[in-house]
Chain A
Amino acid sequence: MSDARRYFDDIQVGEEYESPGRTVTEADIVLFAGLSGDYNVLHTDAEFMKQSIFGERIAHGLLGLAMQAGLFTRATQAYATLAFVGLRWKFKGPIKIGDTIRLRAKVAAKKETSKPDRGLVTVERTVVNQRGEVVQEGETDLMVERRRA
């Protein structure tokens, strides 16, 4: 059986991917509050949020982050990832109920490491809504396997 995963050697700096869209629903936010235990009023109290600068409940920032991780798997073939090393992330604007988000990603850098069997891949990611507004953006560092010689 051939291995469909993409290795460090296969991935090129400058590659770009775009995911399908995903509409964020009230159910998504309720489930995420229940799963994470984050019941902050920003995400759960419709009446309180009418008075806020957002005017309504907004999705948890980390729900958007987790959803873009899911969208990444639908945007490109899987990497031969050994470890998720870290990320730097900014929340630029709210995701509201009914908004449709998608991920735009680009391979920003590749770096060899002290271990010959793996390399570090940095992916720039932008989460945009249906109006093309950037709601989240950042960079993730992934440790990816190299092809065996």
Chain B
Amino acid sequence: MSVAAPRFYFEDVVLQGVLETPAMTVTEAHVALYGGLTGDAAREHGLVPDLLSLCLTVGLGWRVPQPPLAVLAFMGFEWVVDSPLHVGDTIHSRSKTTLKRAMKEGGVIIEERQVINQRGEIVQHGKFTFLVAKRPA
């Protein structure tokens, strides 16, 4: 017997529900791998490229105590860099769904997300818009 992996559908998303991810330390290895893969680099040695922090945040976003969100498409986002992140800093992220709108196919959710360092300072923040599948009938 096989059981399909559980997924978190549009109907399951809790408005204003807050999710916290585990933390991770950003290393020189992350910066080197990211640089080789994308060709994007930090402005100076010792800093983490700003978009790398964003990418790691999205990965962390899956490590929350609920099944993975049934994302149909990442539609867009707005993002603000509040302060630079240094190699060796440890980040985690916090998110909150602030809007749910049902569509014919799936539904749109807007999630506010913050990237927080080991001192509790917000280093980046913004809003993501996702199209999420409805629970199959």
Report which A residues bind B (CB closer than 8 A): 28, 31-32, 35-42, 52-53, 60-63, 65-67, 69-71, 73-74, 81-91, 138
5 sampled A-B residue pairs with Cβ under 8 A: A32-B37, A39-B62, A41-B68, A66-B38, A74-B39
A90 touches B38 (CB 8 A): no
Q: Are B76 and A73 in contact (CB under 8 A)?
A: no
Q: Number of B interface residues, CB 8 Å?
A: 35
B51 and A62 contacting across the interface, CB-CB below 8 Å:
yes
Contact status A53-B72, CB under 8 Å: yes
Beta-carbon contact of B78 and A35 below 8 Å: no
Q: Which of B9-17, B53-61, B113-121 contacts A (4 or more CB under 8 A)?
A: B53-61
A sample of 18 more A-B contacts (CB under 8 A), given A61-B74, A66-B38, is: A35-B37, A36-B55, A38-B55, A38-B58, A40-B62, A66-B40, A66-B55, A67-B38, A69-B39, A69-B49, A86-B126, A87-B78, A88-B78, A88-B79, A89-B76, A89-B78, A90-B76, A91-B74
B40 A73 Cβ-Cβ under 8 A: yes
Inter-chain CA distance A70–B36, complex, in Å, is 10
- What is the count of residue pairs linking A and B with beta-carbon distances less than 8 angstroms? 97
Q: Are B62 and A35 in contact (CB under 8 A)?
A: no
B80: nearest chain-A partner, CB-CB: A86
The 5 closest A-B pairs by CB, nearest first: A70-B39, A37-B59, A69-B40, A90-B76, A36-B59
Contact of A69 among B38, B62, B71, B126 (CB under 8 A): B38
Shortest C-beta distance, B137 to chain A (Å), equals: 16
Is B8 interfacial (CB 8 A cutoff)?
Answer: no
Chain A residues with CB under 8 Å of B79's CB are 86-89
